[in-house]
Amino acid sequence: MNRTLLMRTLASILLIAISSSFPGYAQTPEPRYKAVAFDYFVIFDPNSVVAEVEKVFPGKGMDFTKAWRAKQFEYGFLRSITKNHEDFFKVTEDALLYTMENMKLETTEAQKKQLLSAYLSLKPWPDSVDALKKLKASGVKIITISNFSKMMLKSNADNAGIADFFDELLSSEINRTYKPDPEAYALGIQHLGLKKDDIVFAAFGGWDAYGAKSFGYPTYWVNRFNLPTEKLGIQADGTANNFQGLLDFILGEEAGN
């Protein structure tokens, strides 16, 4: 028996001995990917804004929030296409003013600030914190690739007490783009120093999953609102309406179960 084979045999015997002595012991498999880049709404519930909107516009909380969010996305797309970048918190304010005018609603200056502040203290989805802990423990790098400004990213992470889970809170404002511009997605490989195939993009929106997959990332759509697949000819590599599906995709099937 040659030396290499002997060493492998001894290692296998040692592993069996440890497993027999400690029934709870198991080897931790290597993650399938080296990093994950999140859209922030995979982690934070955008509808946590509803409660604040309801205080200002009773009975209109959900309808207003949906219209406001849709206009945020639309303004981001338009500014990206026309190369007319603006801080996303200002985009959020512009979308708020448009939505109020469209729905024929008015606020005081204090109420407007109250509404905007809701986007600085979003609530994490119930499964987010535990999932981030598992990803961090696995050694997977955790970043964002978000249209949120750096200030918005930091404020929400600090308020939720989860800032330490991230290797970097990366905003597309760095190169004055918005997703789904390919230059926004490119920030991931530039800042991580990894190949596309090593980075999973975790999308909240179907359009974002399309953009990331078109760019070339392995892409997982965390479809929190159970929306239909976008009819664009390209689909994510996997989808689920919760964080567990994403964990399984990155770490291996039935991760943490």
Determine if residue 83 is left, alpha or beta; phi over 0 gives left, psi from -120 to 50 gives alpha, anything else beta: left
| pLDDT surpasses 60 at 18 | no
DSSP reduced 3-state for 220? strand
**Positions marked active-site:** 39
For 142, how many CA atoms within 13 A lie in the half-sphere containing its CB? 21
Lowest mean pLDDT across 6-10, 143-147, 194-198, 206-210: 6-10
Q: What is the CATH number of domain 35-45+122-251?
A: 3.40.50.1000
% pLDDT > 90, the chain: 86
Sign for the pseudo-dihedral over CA of 211, 230, 92, 98: positive
Largest CA distance in the chain: 84
One-letter amino acid of 117: S
Cβ count within 10 A of residue 134:
16
% pLDDT > 70, the chain: 87
Q: Is 47-120 the same fold as 35-45+122-251?
A: no
Specify the pLDDT at position 23. Answer: 46
Domain 47-120 sits in CATH 1.10.357.10: no
Domain ranges of the chain: 35-45+122-251, 47-120
Strand partners, 45: 123
| pLDDT surpasses 50 at 24 | no
The pLDDT mean for the chain works out to 90
pLDDT band for position 28 (50/70/90)? low
Element (H, E) at 44: strand 44-45
| pLDDT surpasses 90 at 1 | no
For the stretch 170-199, pLDDT in tens is 999 999 999 999 999 999 999 999 999 999
| Cα–Cα nearest to 42, from 251, 233, 206 | 206
Specify the pLDDT at position 20. Answer: 43
| pLDDT surpasses 60 at 256 | no
| Cα–Cα nearest to 85, from 166, 151, 184 | 184
- Give the mean model confidence (pLDDT) for residues 237-246: 97
Cβ count within 10 A of residue 127:
15
CA–CA gap between residue 133 and residue 165 (Å, rounded): 7
| pLDDT surpasses 60 at 216 | yes
Specify the pLDDT at position 253. Answer: 60
Radius of gyration of the chain (CA): 21
